Amino acid sequence: MANVVVIGSQWGDEGKGKIVDWLSLRADVVARFQGGHNAGHTLVINGKVYKLSLLPSGIVREGKLSVIGNGVVVDPWALMSEIDTLRGQGVAVSPENFKIAENATLILPLHQELDAARESANAGVKIGTTKRGIGPAYEDKVGRRALRLTDLADPDTLDAKIENLLVHHNTLRRGLALPEFDGAELKAKLMEIAPQLTPYMAPVWKLLDEARRAGQRILFEGAQGVLLDVDHGTYPFVTSSNTIAGQAATGSGLGPAALSHVLGITKAYTTRVGEGPFPTEQDNEVGQKLGERGHEFGTVTGRKRRCGWFDAVLVRQMVKTAGIDGIALTKLDVLDGFDEIKICTGYRLDGEAIDYLPANAAEQARIEAVYETLQGWSGESSFGARSWADLPAQAVRYVRYIEELIGAPVTLLSTSPERDDTILVKDPFED
C-alpha cells in the first residue's frame, strides 16, 4: 500500500486540515513530522468544528493511530490542554490511539519568553512568529542542550540537563534584561506534568516500521507550508523547521523509501501570515474580498491573513523543491464572485524577466508579478461541487491552466469546508 505525505505548497493555511481528515478515512496511521503548536488545522465533520494545533488530524477518527514524530517540538502544557478540549467534544484520546516519539524535543516556558522578547524587541528583523517558543526550542535541539520527552522518565538525570540548558538561556536572558530562570522551578513544573505525558511515549519509528511492514497505510501530516521551509522558503521570514516532503522521513524515523506519494495542498489564490515578501499580494479591495470570502483568519493566532492572486511561479518552484507529485486545490469556491481572475505567470526583477524566486531577501522584496487575466465565472457557483460536471466551465479552465503552469496534476479538488465537497481525481493511496 502507498503512504502519502501531505504538505502545504504555499505559505501555509492552504486547507490541509480538511484534506488530511478526508484522507485519514483511508489511512490506518496519521503522523505529524515537523513543527509545533504554531500552526492550526480546522476540521468540520458533520457540522462539528474541531480546532487542532499539535495533535494529528486523525485523532478525531475512531480506529486510527495518531503519532507525533521526533521532528515535532512539543509543548507539554499546550498538548494536554488540547487533549482536554477534544475530550470535552467527545473525542477519545488515550495511549491506545495516540503516541509521542520518545526523542521529541520539549518546548519549555523559557522558550516562549525568549521568543516573545525577541519578537517584541525594537532592534532586529521582525519575523512575525507566533511567540510560542518554536524557534528557540529548535535552536536548543540543534545546540544539543534540549530536553526531550524521554528525559521526563528519568528524573535523576534531569538536574544536570536543566543546569546545562540554563547556562545558555540565563546568559541570553541577562542580555535581554530578563530575570534568570530558576532550575528548581522548571524541574517542578516538568515533574508535575510528566505523569500526564509519559504514558504516550513510545519508539515511534518502530511503530511506524511495524505498521508499514503490516501493509497499513500511513498518512504523514505536515504543518505550515513549503514557502516557510527554513532552507527553501522566504528566509528569514520562515518557520524553524524543514517543511518539505523529505522531512517526513527524517521527522518520523522512516526512510525516504516509505514515502510513496507527495500531495501538495494548494489554495486557489494565495495568502500568508506575518512578515516577508509576497509578490502577488493585493492590499486593496481585491485582497479584502478574498479575505472576507475565504474567512482568512489564523486558526491559532486569529491574525488576519494577507491575500493575493494565485502565484504559479512560486507553486511551480515548490513542486520541484518539495517533491510534490500532485496537488489538492482548495477554496476554489472563494473565487466564485469575481468577473476577472488573475494568475501570476512570471516575475520581473529590476526590469528583467525571471522565472523563479531568488534566495536573496532583498531581491525577493523587489520582485514584480507578471499577470495573465482570465475570465471569471461570476453568476455561477462552484460551491459544494462534487464532480467536474458540477463546476462552471470557466472554473474548469482555471484549474486546468493551473495544472499546466505548475507542472503537476490536480489530485483532489475542494469546493467547501465540508469533507464530502471534494472531487477525487486520483486516490493518492493507490499510487
What is the rounded CA–CA span in Å between residue 176 and residue 170?
Answer: 10
Our answer to whether residue 41 is catalytic in this structure is yes
Burial 64-81 (b: 16+ CB within 10 A, else e): bbbbbbbbbbbbbbbbee
Residue pointed to by grid coordinates 509521542: 100
DSSP string, 236-271: TSS-SS--STTHHHHTTT--GGG--EEEEEEESSEE
What is the rounded CA–CA span in Å between residue 278 and residue 306?
Answer: 9
Our answer to whether residue 182 is catalytic in this structure is no
Tell me how many helices (H) and strands (E) the chain has: 12, 20
Q: Choose the catalytic residue: 13, 140, 333, 336.
A: 13
Q: Which amino acid is at 203?
A: P
Geometric angle at alpha carbon 247, from 246 and 249, rounded to 5°: 75
Q: Choose the catalytic residue: 21, 28, 41, 75.
A: 41
Instruction: Count other Cβ atoms within 10 Å, centred on residue 52.
Output: 26
Residue pointed to by grid coordinates 517533491: 323
Burial class (CB in 10 A: 0-12, 13-18, 19+), 354: middle
User: Could you give the residue numbers annotated as active site?
Assistant: 13, 41
